[in-house]
Every structure is written in structure tokens, then in C-alpha cells.
A and B are shown apart, each in its own frame.
Chain A
Amino acid sequence: MDTAANNQLGGLLVAIPLLPLAAALIGYLLAWGQGRLALRLNAWLGGLALLASGGLAGWLLSAVQQSQADSIAWRVPWLALPDAALLTDAAGNRTGLPVPLAFNAGVPALLFALTTAVIAVVVLVFAVRERRDDPRRATFFATLTLFAGSMLLFLAADTLLVIYIAWELMGLTSYLLIAHPGTDRARRAARQAFWTTRATDFGLLFAVFTLMTVFRWTTLSGIDLTALLQSIASQGGNPREVYPWLSAVALLVLAAVLGKAAQFPLSFWLSDAMVAPAPVSALLHAATMVAAGPYLLTRLHGFFVVADLPLLAATLLGGLTLLTGAIMALAARDPKRVLAYSTVSHLGLVVMSVGVLAEEAGYYHLLAHAWFKAALFLGVGYLVAVWLTQHGGAEADHEPPELDRLAGFARRQPLVLWGVLVPAGLSLAGLFPLAGALGKEQIFQALLTRYGATPQAGIPAIGEQFPVAAAAWAVGACMLVIALPLTAAYITRLVGILGWGRPAPQPPEAAVAAVAAPRGWGVPLVLTTLLALMGSVGWAAAYFNWYNTPAGFAPESAAWKWSAAGHTSQLVSAVALAAVLIGAGLTWYLRVARPQAGDRVFREGGLAALAAFFRHGMYLRELFHLVIGRCGELLAVLAGRADVGLLDWLVLRLGGLGRLIATAARWVDDYIVDGLRWLACEFWWFLKRLHARTMQTGQIQHYMFIVLLGTALLCLVILRPLSRILADILGSI
């Protein structure tokens, strides 16, 4: 566990998340106390902090690559959690399970941190212009910084509990960001997002439990499957006995990713979250919360390699998401929703890559996706913002314009069209040799060839080991082949209609006001262009460098890696390219060049109902609302009724029982006890009426006679029956 000793660079690693978190805190304080200052300062604070974090990440990245160490680490003691195993130290004292506060980052984490920081800086610059008229922008910038900061914490942290904290912090900040517009729709989307992700987060929590309790692994870097299995084997045990635990961890993490990365069937929350401002979407999709899940999967891929079920689940769920996401993106009308479903689809591919043991390619795809998707979101966000200004509806109706109303709008914005939409779109479509294609082809190849691979000596061929998963890989390959042209189709549709579509006839009242092109967009747009270029060409260049020098990407646990090194075969590339071209060409013809022909198919023809079905997100939202929301509400109402109507009623009736007894006692007291007294009184009066006074003779013998008479009477009345009863009892004995 302590192989990566604290080194001097560790402090800098801690600074990567700490800087933006501190900037966000200061931003909140400023926004609370000094509103005006905060409006000016918060974006700068956050931007500079994130820039510094990005710089640190880049510097540490080069330092790691130059040094022999796998990673940079930093740790201090934090907690000693109670543990049922009664861990003791050398002196025999109970210690509990020590949980350090640890940070650890190797190349994958640092590379991703660099990506997150750079994209966050661009997003902030964009947000400064986009939110110029927003009165609550001070807190918005602070929250945006916090969002990026929590992702950096997630990347840099090593302690599993801290990773979980960062994971939840992202959920919380995304909630705040989605709710930022303040409309009912935004709030509804925000709480839907929060609840959906929170529900699945328990998967991660239980995975952390299991890792901490069953294996006593408290840090990510401490997880060492090889050592665990070897130690079990060396103690004469069967390593296969822990396989169920390992696959349980894999499935739990997969469940958490299902919600957080909006995988099928929970994809609805992400598309509804599109009410958030464009910068939020860009950050959310590209490099933070949504991407965090698949990233974690690539880090924990070792847990998937032990059984069929996790591999099968990851492959099929990922594949299903890939496919349905692409179809829904094709059917969606709102340009931001197209991009949202596109994210879902791409992340499904990354999840699938873990299922097919090509996590390295998945990781690469995640990185490339971050850059081009951020660029696309910002580009589309810019178009929407300009369109809204020109149509006098800036923030007036928070309904974003549909794709048809934006048709041809980008042609008047050549920088956005040619600098952002086209390169990023081509990369997204998977056009060889742009960055978006390379990872995809690696995964494709893995799906096709993983079956027979014999990766290392001593380990059986995967096909023999995982027969069911191998079948799933074949299904996955089919899904990918279908998804490739679909992906190309939806992005061609989006970029094609934006750039070259024929503008719909405007209703006369919404005539375009002759508004001059808004100013101040220069810097954000240029930076966005850089993102797009990085996402298409830049990462492609890195890719070839990457796979030529395997040392550049340090694997966490080499024994569990089966990634095929080297380039994809030319056949795979050709098939993929052909699929992409077919999809793109067909779409171009049907939606851009001859939209009437397309309308006949999709709006009027037999596909109309199907298109509507997918446009409504396959009614998944409605399904979940019905099943969980409505049923939960019903149960809650029932419980509320039961508490007052049944439990409290019972308690009150129990009190009522006491009251009943008390009433009975009162009756006894009033009529029996008091009645006796009354009888005595009456008797006395009776005697008085008999002129009992005449009996008071003052002569002792009279009195004695009365006593004698009374005693005799008593004997007659009481003792005789008593003695009879006594005699009965004695006789019975």
C-alpha cells in the first residue's frame, strides 16, 4: 500500500482540488457579503484557480512521466473507523481500521485533471459573456468553480471515502447549477437529476463498504487484486472464493455509474437537465459529473475480470445505452438534447469498453469526448444565445429554440461553423483518423477479437474463461456496428441543419429585428475553437504517440490488463469508416439536401410514430415517474393516514380504555361505596324515627343486652353462612 511514498510533489497534488474549492468558498463569501465585488471578481477567482490547477496538473504529469514513480501521493492520518475484526496494533491495543486522508494521482488521473481544468477555464470564460445580464451570476460562477473543483477532488483523491464525498459533492453542485435558471422547469429537472443520481449513488456507497469491510482496502491505490489472490493462494485457499465479492463490487459500481452517467434506462434526467445554461451543460457532460462514472469504471476494471456477470452487464448495458442514446439523439428536436443524448451514447461506449476489457481505449475515448463535446456544447450554446438576443427573447421564455428554427443560422457565423461545429462534429461522428474515431475502433476491435485472446501465460484464454460474456461481446459488436452510422447521422443532422439547413419561414410577428451581432464573444469563441481542435486533431496526434510508447500510460495493475496494444487492424478501420460515411451521407441527403424527402419518412411516413417515441426519450421518464413517483406518493399518503388513523387512534383508544375504567370506578364509588354510606345514614334515620333515644336509658344492663342481641344477629347473618362455606371446603378436601 505504501509503495508510493509521500514525496515532495504530493503537496502540489493536494493543491489541484484545493485551489478551486477555496476559490469557490471565497466566491460564496463575497457573493454573500459584497455583492458588487463578487460580480466582478468571482469569475476571475475561479478561472485563475482552475488555471493554476490545470498548470499544476500538467506539470505533475510531466514530472510523473519523467520519473520512475507510478504516481504522486500524499497522505495524512484521518480516521480510525471501528471494525468488527478487532484490529490490534503491535502493543495489542485496538486500533480500528485506519483510514488515511490520501491523495494519489498517476497519469490517467492527472491527464483527466488537466482536461477538466482546461475545459472548466474555457467554460468560465464563456460563462462570463453568456451570463452577462444575470443578476445572480456571482454565485453561479462560484458554484461552477465548486463543480470543477469537486471533480478535481474526485480525480486526485485516493481515499475511497473522499472519492465518495467528491462524488456526492458533484451531485449537489450539479443540482444547484441545473436549478440556477430558477424556473419551475429548471427546478423540476434539478431535483429529478439529484434524486436519480442519489438513488444509484448507494451502489458506490455499498461498494465502498465492501472494499473497506471485506478486503480492508481504504484507498484506491491500496486495491491490489493480484496480491490478494496470490496471498489467498499462498495460504492454501481457493482464490475463486472471493470472486463473488469482487463481482459484487463491480456490479455495485456499475449501478452507481448507471445513474450518474445517465445510462439506459436512467438517461432521462440528463436530457431534462438541458434547461441549465450552456456552460453548465458543457462542464457537466464533458469533464465532470457524468464522465466521472465511466472514469471510475476504467480505474476499477480489475473487478470486472473475475466473472461473466459483470462483463456481461457492462457490455450489454453499455451497448444498449450506446444504441438507444444514438437513436434518441437522432429523434430529438432541441439541439442541446441532441448533444445530451449523444453524451449518453458515448459514455455507454466507454462502459462497454470496460465490459470488453478495453478500458484503456475507453479511457482514451472519454478524454477525446470531453474535448469535442465541450466545444460542441459551447458552440451550440453560443448560437442559441445569439439567436435569443436577435429574437428579443433573451431569457424571456426559457424555452430553447428547436433545431428547425435555427436552420441555417450557423452559416452567418463562420468561426463557429468551421472552427467548432465541423471539426468537433466530424470527430464525434467517428471519422478516421480524428480523435473520436480511434478509441471507438479500438473498442470495436476488442469486441471482435477479445474472444480468442490468450493474454498472459498461466491465464486461460478469455473465451474459455467467460463463455457468456464472449457471447455478449458479439451482441455488443452488432450494437456498435448499428450505432456507428446512427452516431454519424445525428451529428450530421445537427451540424448540417445548423450550417446549411433552409431556414423555416418565420411567422410575421417574430420578424428578426435588425440587431447587430452581439459583441464580446471573441475570446470565448476562439478558446472554444481550440477545444474543438484538440478534440479532433490534437488528441488524434496524442493517440498515435500514446500507443507507440506504452510507457506513457501507466497501468494500475498490469496483471489484469488484456488491452491489445498497437493500432487497430485496417479492416476494422475500413468497416467503421464505411459505416460512418453511409450514415452521414444518408442523413445529409434526407435532412439537409432534400429535407422534404426526409419529412416524408420521419414526419408523415411510417417512421413518424417511432420517431415520436424516441423523441420523448422512450417515455422512460414517464415510466419512472409512474412506477416510483406515483407509487411512492401513494404509499406515503397511506402511511400518513395510517399514522394518524391507526397508530395514534390505537394509542388514544388505549387512553380511552383507561377513561372507561375510570368511569366504571367512579360509578362504583358513587353508587356502591357511597351507596353503603347512604344506606348507613338511612338506617340511622330509621332508627332515629323509631325514637331510638328511648333506648338510651343509662342503665348498663340494657346496653349489654343490646350488644348481646347484636352479636347474636351477627353470628346468624355472617358466621353461619361462613361456617357452612368452610365446612363445604373442608368436606371437599
Chain B
Amino acid sequence: MEHLATSSIGKLEVFLTWLSNPTTQLLWLPLLGCIFIMATPKAQQRLIKTWAVIFSGLSLLAAVLMVSGLPKAIQDAGIQIASDYVWHPFAKHLPFRQGEAFSYVQNYSWMKVELGEYWSFNVNYFVGVDGLSLPLIVMSAAVIFLAVIWALPRTERVRDFFALTLLMEVGLLGVFVALDYVLFYLFWELMLIPMYFLIAGWGRDPEKAGRAAIKFFIYTMFGSVFMLIAFIAMQVMSNVYSFSIIGLTEFELTGGQNLPMLFRQLMFIGLLLGFAVKVPMFPFHTWLPDAHTEAPTEMSVILAAVMLKTGSYAYLRILYPSFPDVAYQLGPIIAFCGVAAIVYGAAITLVQKDIKRLVAYSSISHMGFIVLGISAMNPDATVGAIFHMVAHGVIIATLFFMCGVIERRYGTRDLYEVSGLLAGAPSYVLPLGIAAFAGMGLPGLAGFWGEFLVLKGTFYNSPNWMSVHVGAIDASRYLQIVAAIAVIGILTAAVYMINLLQRVLPGPVKANLAVWRGFRLTDGLALVPLALAVIVLGLYPAPIINACEYYAHALWATALRF
């Protein structure tokens, strides 16, 4: 699967091969857009917006082409698919079943670093997608594209705004495709910096926004320092001469087993810290409500729908495949953090007065489900967690867009002052209703399947947990208790969502601002696809479940060995 560029091929040819790969298009077209925007004069706002739409749209197109081009890509990669695999019409085209899981792989040598005789390594431009990352890539590209569309009516500092957004898109999508730790770390930090400027520069209240952005930035940086140390430690202690995620994962599962347990645990905790802040996992979540409250609508959407998922994605891409044995040891603690986020986050959501803060805390609660699903280490729960990443992205994007609508309509986000959306902005009621009901996990909507599978997988977990003990009981029973407690979170979701709907929808319109100009086309263009996606994913979750199922089974089969 290594396609190293050899000298026999001309450089142009290498370049063209590189260019024709959809991963390239996905990743670097937004950067090209960013450059185009920066080269456009500030005053030409229409042109700037056109560039932004075109390039983020092209990136989304590349993501869609990735899905549709899969059968051929798999054939090219020589992966065998049984034609009579399952009865499912879609499933035949889904690749992630047998053999090596990654498609659209590119592996070019980037630099060789030699630091004395003891430490030398290759840094490769190593990217590819698999069943774990593909659903997330499509969701992310779509949400960012819709956020760009939503932002089109903006008039203040447009050039900077869109340039930074597209730059951030490179980082966000890059994390999902990177298969090299150096590359991963670069993208990981690349998404952080534009987000800092976007929150600080376009927030509602400049002073508060600045403070929230600093908090977000420093907190995340704090986590990623430990992550970086763990990356380096993993590579230094291995016999792998590159920072390849795949290679190092394989090492950790084989030769790495001889390393001292304490050392492995420390590496696990370092990685965990880096990712947990991003997710955010309880108790590292306090940056999130502040950042959301102050961020502009589009950035709240991208932050909640995409950026948080990079954290949970990293759990599944790096942490759990590399250290399944440590994950079993620390599993009860992580599961506790997950369920604590679910229940505690939901409880806090109940008492929020600011609608945006309410949605932000509900997001913490839902991310708790993802953490719980990952920590259960069982294919059902893992698939549930991945599905919930996508579903939560779509739902939370709708909800944050609606927060933007409410703020524009009423000039306030105070839950006790907003009322009468039913009479005041009837076109927006349906998306809000769909997203709110999906947020409480009603079946038939997207929010259901993730929670369903996570609960199912956590409750009926794998026999491996029997050998882990939590106090007097084994971890299998412990996880069952945890799953039962997690139900409280879903129930509380029904309480706060119904409270939200009943306060916002009925009653007289209390319009505090006169700037409301009714329905905006761009809102519709952003909200309709999202609401449709919530329904479609709810009724037909098969594509995503099929896509990530192989990954989940492979992970679990690996974990079973420990």
C-alpha cells in the first residue's frame, strides 16, 4: 500500500497523480481558496464570497466523489470484496470489509530528519481515508460549506473572515485524513489558530469574546502539548523510522508490549489529555460553554459539529487501536467520565438561561455518549459512537443555526424573554422542532441510532470486561450500571428540549430589534439540507453503519487479543 514516488516517474507525473487524488482536492482546495481570497481586494465582497462558496463547495464535492468513487478505488488498491457479501444493495459498494482498510492513500516522503545517530526519522505526507474517517469527512465538509453559505450576508471584515474559515477547513479535514503523526499534529494546531481569531474577532462582545477565545486556545494548547510529548515518546521508543500512525500502532500492539506498563500508561494518558480537552470529555469541558456563548453563529456550528469530532476521532484513530490493554485498565474511569458528562451536562443544561449556552451544554452531554460508546470497546458501541459523531454534527449544527436565527430575531438569547417564534418566524419552526426532537433521541430521527447502539453495546458489552474489576464488581456489570444511568441523560434531554420549545415557540412575539427582515434565503439553503439529513439518517442509517462497521469490528478483534 505504500506508493512512494520513485525516480523513474517524472516529477510532473507524480504531481498529476497527486493532484488527481480526491484527498488532495478535499484538503488543498480550501487553501487555494484562502489564497485567492487573500489576493482579492477587500472591497470586492461579492467576489470574496464567491471564492469562499466555490472552494468550500469544491471540497465538499471532492468528499462526495470520494464516496462515489470508492468501488474503483478499492479495485485499484486490490482489495477483495465478496460480491455476495450481504443482501444490502449499498453494502456491495462499501469497501471497508476486507484487507487493508485505507483507500485514496498517498504516501510521499516529505523530509528526512537526522538528529545524531540516535534519533532519525522520516516525515511522510501520508494520507488516506477509511470507514471511520469517511463519514466524518463528508459531514464536516458539508457543515463547513453550509456555514459558509450561512455567513454570506456578513458585511464586516469579510475577507479575513472567509480566508480564516477556509484555512481552518484545511486543518479540520486534514486531521481526518492524516496518517502521519507530524502531519496530524500540524493539522491539529492549524485548525486552532484561525478559530481563535474567528471567535475573538467576530464575537458578539469583543472583550468577552477575546477572553473566551484565549481560554479555548490555551486550554486546547495545554492538552496538545501532552499529546505531542506522547507522539514523540511513541516514536522514540519504537523501532519505526517514521511517524506513521499505522506503523506506530502496529508497533504498540507488538513490540511495544515489552515496554514498561507505567510508560505505556503515561503515553496513553498524555494522548488522552490532548484529545479529551478537544472532545471535551468531563471534566475538561469548561472552555466549551464560554467559547460557544461568545463565538459567532457559524463558528459555533463548526466548533460543535466538526472540531469536537476531531477529538473523538483521535480516540478511535490513535488511542484505542494503539493501547487496547491500557484502555481496558482505564476503561472504567473513561466510561465514568462519559456518563458523568451525559448526566451532569444534561443537568446543567436544565438551568441555562442563555439559549446558546443551553445548546452548548447539551452538546457536552451528547459528546458524553460518544466517549461512553468508545470506552465500551465493543462493535455496537463503537459504531454507535461513530454514528453519533455524524448525527450529532448535523443536529447540533441545526440547533446553533437556530440560535443565530433567534438572536437575530429577538436581539437576545435569554430563554425567558424569547417567545412567539411560531408567530414571528414560522419558517424556522420546523428545523428547530426537528433538531430538538432529534436531540432528545426520538427514534426515526438521526439522534436515535447513535444513542441506541451505544446503550446496546455498553449494556451488552464484551466478555473481556469480566477480567477488569471495579471495586467489588467486574467491569462488565459496571458498564451495565453505567448504561442504565446514561438513560437519565436522554430523559433529561427530553426535559430541556421540551422546555426550550415551549418557551420559544408559542406566545406573543417580543421583538426587541427592528432589524428582522424575515426569512433569509441563505438560512434556508443551510437549514433545509441539515433538517433533511436529520430525517434521512434517522430513517435509513444503513450507509453510515455499513461504512464504519468494518473498522469497529477490526478494532474489536484487535482488542479481544488483550
Identify the A interface with B (CB < 8 A). 32, 77-84, 86, 89, 91, 93-96, 98, 161, 164-165, 168-169, 172, 175, 179, 182, 187, 191, 194-195, 198-199, 202, 205-206, 209, 212-214, 632-633, 635-637, 639-640, 643, 647-648, 651, 655
Contacts of B506 in A (CB 8 A): 182, 187
CA separation between A182 and B420, bound complex, in Å? Answer: 12
Q: Is the CB of A93 within 8 A of B437?
A: no
Q: Is the CB of A640 within 8 A of B452?
A: no
Contacts A84-B462, A202-B487, A205-B452 given; does A651 touch B286 at CB 8 Å? yes
Q: Is the CB of A195 within 8 A of B350?
A: no
Q: Is the CB of B82 within 8 A of A91?
A: yes
Q: Is the CB of B82 within 8 A of A206?
A: no
Contacts of A199 in B (CB 8 A): 491
A716 CB to nearest chain B CB (Å): 41
Q: Is B523 an interface position by the 8 A CB rule?
A: no
Q: Which residue of A lies closest to B539 (CB)?
A: A165
Contacts of B157 in A (CB 8 A): none
Task: Select one of A172, A191, A639 contacting B347, CB under 8 A.
Answer: A639
CA separation between A194 and B549, bound complex, in Å? Answer: 34
Q: Is the CB of B442 within 8 A of A168?
A: yes
Q: Is the CB of A79 within 8 A of B444?
A: no
Contacts of B459 in A (CB 8 A): 206, 209, 213
CA separation between A447 and B420, bound complex, in Å? Answer: 55
Q: Which residue of B lies closest to A648 (CB)?
A: B286
A-B contact pairs, 12 of them (CB 8 A): A77-B87, A78-B540, A80-B546, A82-B457, A93-B98, A94-B97, A94-B550, A172-B437, A206-B455, A632-B492, A636-B347, A636-B348
Task: Select one of B97, B456, B487 contacting A93, CB under 8 A.
Answer: B97
Stretch at the interface among B69-77, B326-334, B375-383: B375-383
CA separation between A384 and B540, bound complex, in Å? Answer: 45
Contacts of B456 in A (CB 8 A): 209, 212-213
Q: Is the CB of B549 within 8 A of A96?
A: yes
Q: Is the CB of B460 within 8 A of A195?
A: no
Identify the B interface with A (CB < 8 A). 82, 84-89, 91, 97-98, 218-219, 283, 285-287, 344, 347-348, 350-352, 378-380, 382-383, 426, 430, 437, 440, 442-444, 452-453, 455-457, 459-462, 487, 490-492, 494-495, 498-499, 502, 506, 540-542, 545-546, 549-550, 552-553, 556-557
Q: Is the CB of A195 within 8 A of B498?
A: yes
Q: Is the CB of A80 within 8 A of B444?
A: no
Question: A80-B86, A82-B552 provided; 4 other pairs, C-beta below 8 A?
Answer: A32-B430, A82-B383, A84-B461, A93-B82
Contacts A187-B506, A205-B452, A655-B218 given; does A81 touch B380 at CB 8 Å? yes
Contacts of A655 in B (CB 8 A): 218
Q: Is the CB of B443 within 8 A of A165?
A: yes
Contacts of A635 in B (CB 8 A): 347
Contacts A77-B87, A93-B98, A94-B549 given; does A643 touch B444 at CB 8 Å? no
Contacts A82-B545, A82-B553 given; does A209 touch B494 at CB 8 Å? no
A379 CB to nearest chain B CB (Å): 31
Contacts of B348 in A (CB 8 A): 636, 639-640, 643
Contacts of B540 in A (CB 8 A): 78
Contacts A94-B97, A194-B498, A647-B283 given; does A636 touch B85 at CB 8 Å? no
Contacts of A191 in B (CB 8 A): 498-499, 502
B196 CB to nearest chain A CB (Å): 16
Contacts of B499 in A (CB 8 A): 191
Contacts of B89 in A (CB 8 A): 77
B125 CB to nearest chain A CB (Å): 33
B48 CB to nearest chain A CB (Å): 35
B530 CB to nearest chain A CB (Å): 18
CA separation between A169 and B98, bound complex, in Å? Answer: 39
B171 CB to nearest chain A CB (Å): 24
Q: Is the CB of B85 within 8 A of A93?
A: yes
Task: Select one of A82, A91, A205 contacting B379, CB under 8 A.
Answer: A82
Q: Is the CB of B380 within 8 A of A91?
A: no
B292 CB to nearest chain A CB (Å): 14
Interface of B is mostly: helix
A161 CB to nearest chain B CB (Å): 7
Q: Is the CB of B379 within 8 A of A78?
A: no
Q: Is the CB of A640 within 8 A of B545?
A: no
B501 CB to nearest chain A CB (Å): 9
CA separation between A655 and B552, bound complex, in Å? Answer: 38
Q: Which residue of B lies closest to A28 (CB)?
A: B430
B536 CB to nearest chain A CB (Å): 14
CA separation between A632 and B286, bound complex, in Å? Answer: 22
Q: Is the CB of A172 within 8 A of B442?
A: yes
Contacts A209-B455, A647-B286 given; does A98 touch B347 at CB 8 Å? no
Contacts of B382 in A (CB 8 A): 82
Task: Select one of B88, B286, B440, B443 contacting A161, CB under 8 A.
Answer: B443
Q: Is the CB of A91 within 8 A of B552?
A: no
Q: Is the CB of B460 within 8 A of A80?
A: no
CA separation between A91 and B80, bound complex, in Å? Answer: 13
Q: Is the CB of B85 within 8 A of A89?
A: yes
Q: Which residue of B lies closest to A183 (CB)?
A: B506
A708 CB to nearest chain B CB (Å): 42
Q: Is the CB of A82 within 8 A of B494?
A: no
A491 CB to nearest chain B CB (Å): 35
CA separation between A205 and B552, bound complex, in Å? Answer: 23
Contacts of B494 in A (CB 8 A): 194-195, 198
Task: Select one of B88, B218, B444, B495 contacting A169, CB under 8 A.
Answer: B444
Contacts of A80 in B (CB 8 A): 86, 88, 91, 542, 545-546, 549
CA separation between A182 and B422, bound complex, in Å? Answer: 12
Contacts of A83 in B (CB 8 A): 379-380
Contacts of A213 in B (CB 8 A): 380, 456, 459-460
Q: Which residue of B lies closest to A90 (CB)?
A: B84
Contacts of A179 in B (CB 8 A): 502
Q: Which residue of B lies closest to A163 (CB)?
A: B443
Contacts A79-B545, A199-B491 given; does A84 touch B380 at CB 8 Å? yes
Contacts of A643 in B (CB 8 A): 286, 344, 348
Task: Select one of A98, A172, A637 contacting B86, CB under 8 A.
Answer: A98
Q: Is the CB of A98 within 8 A of B379?
A: no
CA separation between A82 and B495, bound complex, in Å? Answer: 30
Closest 5 CB pairs of A and B: A636-B350, A639-B347, A648-B286, A640-B351, A165-B443
B7 CB to nearest chain A CB (Å): 41
B172 CB to nearest chain A CB (Å): 25
Q: Is the CB of A94 within 8 A of B498?
A: no
Contacts A94-B549, A198-B491 given; does A79 touch B542 at CB 8 Å? yes
Task: Select one of B350, B430, B453, B553 contacting A94, CB under 8 A.
Answer: B553
Q: Is the CB of A640 within 8 A of B352?
A: yes
CA separation between A200 and B86, bound complex, in Å? Answer: 36
Task: Select one of A84, A182, A195, A647 contacting B495, CB under 8 A.
Answer: A195
Q: Is the CB of A79 within 8 A of B541?
A: yes
Q: Which residue of A lies closest to B383 (CB)?
A: A82
Contacts of B545 in A (CB 8 A): 79-82, 96
Task: Select one of B97, B351, B553 contacting A86, CB under 8 A.
Answer: B553
CA separation between A187 and B504, bound complex, in Å? Answer: 13
Task: Select one of B352, B462, B491 contacting A195, CB under 8 A.
Answer: B491
Contacts of A169 in B (CB 8 A): 443-444
CA separation between A711 and B344, bound complex, in Å? Answer: 70
